[in-house]
Amino acid sequence: IIDENDAARSPVILNLTRERDEAENDLRVTEERLTELKNTLDGLVIRTQQRKKKADELKEQEQKLKNEIEMCVSRASMLSDLEKNMEGYQGSVKAVMREVKRGTLKGIHAPISQLINVDEKYALAIETALGVQIQNIVTDTENDAKRAIAFLKQSNSGRATFLPLTAIKGKVVDEKSLDDCFGYIDIASNLVKCDKKYEQIITSQLGRTVVAEDMDSAIVIAKKYNYRFRIVTLDGQLINAGGSMTGGSKTHTAGILSRGNEIEKLGARTEKLKNELESISQKVKTAIESLNA
């Protein structure tokens, strides 16, 4: 009986054993596949994290550029408004230029400050050298200046100085060996850029002024040439012809010339930043597409 039972169970046992072996094999294959999938998933997680980090970094750069562009545009707009309203100019100069815009005064060009360009490095020195003369108004002829003066007198708008192109002639410092002096930079008029027709005007205002590195070198140069001409330093100190000295903090006219330079500089900076932003924005787009993939 026992043998018969064993014989009857044997196929069942064999079948169960086979099923067990198959199940164990399936389990092993499944565990191996699971390990492969886990490794793949871990790799994808790492790649996703890396791509997200890159996308986030690019977005941060993009936002910084947007903020900087906004600041540049805002600053340029404010300075342009100041320039448009001629903030810092004398009331008489404003009055004349208003009449020019209205068309009631002819032959008026502009104040010197609006007719010249100066490298930022020399802006303070040139502003200091010009002083209130930076607001002197250039005209075509003496008659144009005469009419503008008559307007100021009739309207009780104050006084202004006019520089007729037909009348003004300038002289330049002509001293030997100036180039050899320690701290000497150049004649002030040589550091100013302007339209050729204004060259005599600029020479008349700055041709007798030398620009020096600092006060120490300015004093040495002034003594060497017996105080025959003015010397202005890069930080805005002045030794006048004759030996008197003027200095201290910036004058009230300082900034009028720098304002135009800064507007131009901000414009160039904004364009550069916009180009950078365009490049970064494209990289952000590519990074997001890569992350989504």
pLDDT of residue 219: 96
Give the type of residue at 197. K
Query: Would strands 238-239 and 230-233 be described as parallel, antiparallel, or unpaired?
Result: antiparallel
Neighbours of 12 (CB within 10 A): 9
Alpha-carbon distance of 242 to 227, in angstroms, equals 5
- Give which of 57, 39, 238, 36 is closest to 130, Cα–Cα: 238
Q: How far apart are CA 281 and CA 287, in angstroms?
A: 10
Which neighbouring-strand residues pair with 239? 231, 245
What's the rounded Cα separation, in Å, for the pair 287 and 37? 25
Calpha distance 241→222 (Å, rounded): 8
Per-residue pLDDT in tens (0 to 9) along the chain, 293 residues: 456 666 677 888 888 998 898 999 999 999 999 999 999 999 989 989 998 999 999 999 999 999 999 999 999 999 888 888 888 899 999 999 999 999 999 999 999 999 999 988 999 999 999 988 999 999 999 999 999 999 999 999 999 999 999 999 999 999 889 999 999 999 999 999 999 999 999 999 999 999 999 999 999 999 999 999 999 999 999 999 999 999 887 654 457 888 888 888 899 999 999 999 999 999 999 989 988 88
Q: Give the count of beta carbons closer than 10 Å to the beta carbon of residue 239.
A: 24
How many residues are recorded in the chain? 293
Is the CB of residue 259 less than 8 Å from the CB of residue 79?
yes
pLDDT for 169 equals 93
Closest CA to 77 of 225, 267, 232, 227: 267
Helix, strand, coil percentages in the chain from 3-state DSSP, rounded to 5: 65, 10, 25
Pairwise CA distance, residues 187 & 113, whole Å? 18
Identify the pLDDT of residue 4: 63
- Residue 128 · residue 248 · CB < 8 Å: no
> 3-class DSSP state for residue 59?
helix
